[in-house]
Amino acid sequence: MSETTKRIISGLLLGGGVVVALYFFDAFASIHVFILVLLFSLMGVEEFYRLTDRGLDGRPVRGIGFFFTVLLITAFYLEYLTGYDSSSLPDWLAEWLVLYQKIHNPIVPILALFLIVASSYSMVYRPLDGTSYTITTTIVGPIYAAVPLGIVILILGLGEGIFLFVYLALATIMTDVGAYFVGRWFGKHNAGLKVSPKKTYEGYIGGIIFANLFVQTYLYFWLEINPATMSVFVPGWTESVLLTFVISCISVFGDLVESALKRDARIKDSASMIPGHGGILDLVDAMLFTFPVGYYYFYVRAMIG
């Protein structure tokens, strides 16, 4: 089976899994969404830690990073649950939520504690040479690979969560798919980026156009099928084209940054978990950038509008 075929098949299977998870999204206080996001986040952080391992020159403190990844994703899940009908939750969870809402904004204390614990551990147990590398890579792992996936839970918790999640995911994935095929078939003019020397201008432009075609078609049919979609979350056509353009560009940067991390680590794929796609980071690299931007765009839009 060629790489491209593998890529398409495993992409479809993964996409199918996500669709099933979304279909039952509201059930069981969305606990399965939490578990899925947590698994993806841990795998992402693990890969980031593998990419940034420099042995004696410094390497992340893995266990502490995983622990705080769990805390961070749990905080996003609890944040999501505050918008959930609490009468349908188990009592113990509802009580936890009341406590959680009193201590609003738990990301700052989690990060502060993370820094104290990780740096103290590094200072005591790791060689002094490489201290700053060890501390900084440990902290940034979950900020890079887990926080943006935690934001997926918040996207789903918005008034029209599934619509917005698919909108942002399509804009991101279709940029990549479009760039891949257009670049292969029509690519002539090298974009000259040191991190990805083979990428062409045709590919990037193709990706942006392809994403726009897909997203606007999706928007059109979604509104046809769901005319009751809350208007505060529905972008107008001009707005949607501009937004998709911005998401596409950010998506390209997310992809390139992950490539740069791999080049620095002298590895081709971040791992080989997913046939044809490499590791989890190869799969979600662009989404790590586009989900936060997209979420806050729609969040602020709904708040102001």
CB of 12 to a second copy, least distance (A): 29
- Out of 5, 82, 88, 132, the only residue in the binding site for a second copy (CB under 8 A) is 132
State the binding string over 15-44 for a second copy (x if CB under 8 A, else -).
Answer: ------------------------------
- Out of 56, 225, 228, 303, the only residue in the binding site for a second copy (CB under 8 A) is 303
| CB burial of residue 65 (10 Å; 0-12, 13-18, 19+) | buried
154's CB contacts (< 8 A; 6+ apart) are 76, 79, 80, 295, 299
Chain centroid offset of residue 100 CA = 24
Based on CB atoms, which residue is closest to a second copy, 32 or 54?
A: 54
Based on CB atoms, which residue is closest to a second copy, 7 or 59?
A: 59
Quick one: CA dihedral 225, 226, 231, 235, positive or negative?
A: negative
Based on CB atoms, which residue is closest to a second copy, 10 or 131?
A: 131
Span 257-296, contacts to a second copy by CB under 8 A: 257, 259-261, 263-265, 289, 292-293, 296
Span 64-103, contacts to a second copy by CB under 8 A: 99, 102-103
Based on CB atoms, which residue is closest to a second copy, 136 or 229?
A: 136
281's CB contacts (< 8 A; 6+ apart) are 44, 47, 48, 51, 145, 258, 270, 271
Based on CB atoms, which residue is closest to a second copy, 11 or 248?
A: 248
CA dist., res. 37 & res. 118, Å (int): 23
Based on CB atoms, which residue is closest to a second copy, 219 or 295?
A: 295
Give me Rg for the CA atoms of the chain: 20
Q: Which window, 2-10, 24-32, 131-139, 234-242, contacts a second copy (CB under 8 A)?
A: 131-139
Q: How many CB atoms lie within 10 A of CB 66?
A: 17
State the binding string over 172-211 for a second copy (x if CB under 8 A, else -).
Answer: ---------------------xxx----------------
- Out of 148, 178, 206, 279, the only residue in the binding site for a second copy (CB under 8 A) is 148
Chain centroid offset of residue 276 CA = 19
| CB burial of residue 163 (10 Å; 0-12, 13-18, 19+) | buried
State the binding string over 100-129 for a second copy (x if CB under 8 A, else -).
Answer: --xxxx-xxx-xxx-xx--xx-xxx---xx
Based on CB atoms, which residue is closest to a second copy, 8 or 193?
A: 193
Using rule CB under 8 A, residue 133 touches a second copy: yes
The total number of residues written for the chain in this structure: 305
Q: Which ranges of the chain would DSSP assign to H, the alpha helix?
A: 3-23, 31-51, 62-81, 91-102, 107-125, 131-145, 147-157, 161-186, 201-225, 237-265, 280-304
Q: b vs e for 17-31, b when ≥16 Cβ sit within 10 Å of the residue's Cβ?
A: eeeebeeeeeeebbe
Which residues of this chain interact with a second copy, rule CB under 8 A?
51-52, 99, 102-105, 107-109, 111-113, 115-116, 119-120, 122-124, 128-133, 135-137, 139-140, 143-144, 147-148, 151, 193-195, 250, 253-254, 256-257, 259-261, 263-265, 289, 292-293, 296, 299-300, 303-304
